[in-house]
Amino acid sequence: MPHPDIRPAGHPYPHPDLHGHGLRLRPWDPDSEDDAAAWFRGRSDPEFRRWNTPLRITTDLDSARESLRDTARNMWEGASAAYCVTDAATGTPVGHVAVNVIDWIMRSARVGYWVLPEARGRRVATHALTLVAQWALAEPGLALHRLELGHAVGHDSSCRIAERCGFRYEGTLRGAMWEAGRQDAYRDVHMHARLATDPDPARGRDSDSNVNL
């Protein structure tokens, strides 16, 4: 099944900006020096590397730009929807959230996120995940049926964020993620998921979220 054309008229990227909770979610720009610097800082942060081991490690600004180009390419091919999370008032990047490994046949995908150190403690991850989940599971939007969120066992803050955003804990996957800094050893993963038919925990509680297509 081909993926739908959901780009708004006149929009330069394949996915729309999302707004709410004092945040603006926009696609990453691989040609932006600010975006490359934020991407490098986020993916080289010790807390990120404690819980994530990417296939390709970001070691400098050049590798950050190349990684962002791969991210943009995946967006245009319909495999992902990656967002730079910014402060709505200043435009300053504060983190990242993405819908990855989109399966248009099963209408499912995986979601992940990270937050820059200076923005932690402000519920940026919770608000960004809320916005992207509402959009990804809705029509208009990606109209997916299922979103999965996996995190390394022991990452308690990710557990709390997932549950707060309506991603129910479904069990533990054995050896489903690389150990920190290694690609030859594995650790267990907590699997959470949210269905389009699940109640939206933010509905009726938060009134300032607005997904602008």
Give the model confidence (pLDDT) of 25-53 as tens digits.
999 999 999 999 999 999 999 999 999 98
Confidence grade of residue 8 (pLDDT, cut at 50, 70, 90): very low
CA geometry: angle 136, 205, 83, nearest 5 deg: 30
Give the model confidence (pLDDT) of 127-177 as tens digits.
999 999 999 999 889 999 999 999 999 999 999 999 999 999 999 999 999
- For a pLDDT cut of 90, what percent of the chain falls above it? 76
CA geometry: angle 109, 114, 117, nearest 5 deg: 175
Q: In what order do the strands lie in the sheet with 18-20?
A: 168-178, 186-195, 146-152, 108-115, 93-103, 81-87, 23-27, 18-20, 209-210
- For a pLDDT cut of 70, what percent of the chain falls above it? 89
CA geometry: angle 27, 142, 83, nearest 5 deg: 20
Q: How far apart are CA 105 and CA 114, in angstroms?
A: 28
- Look up the pTM and report it: 0.88
Whole-number pLDDT of residue 15: 86
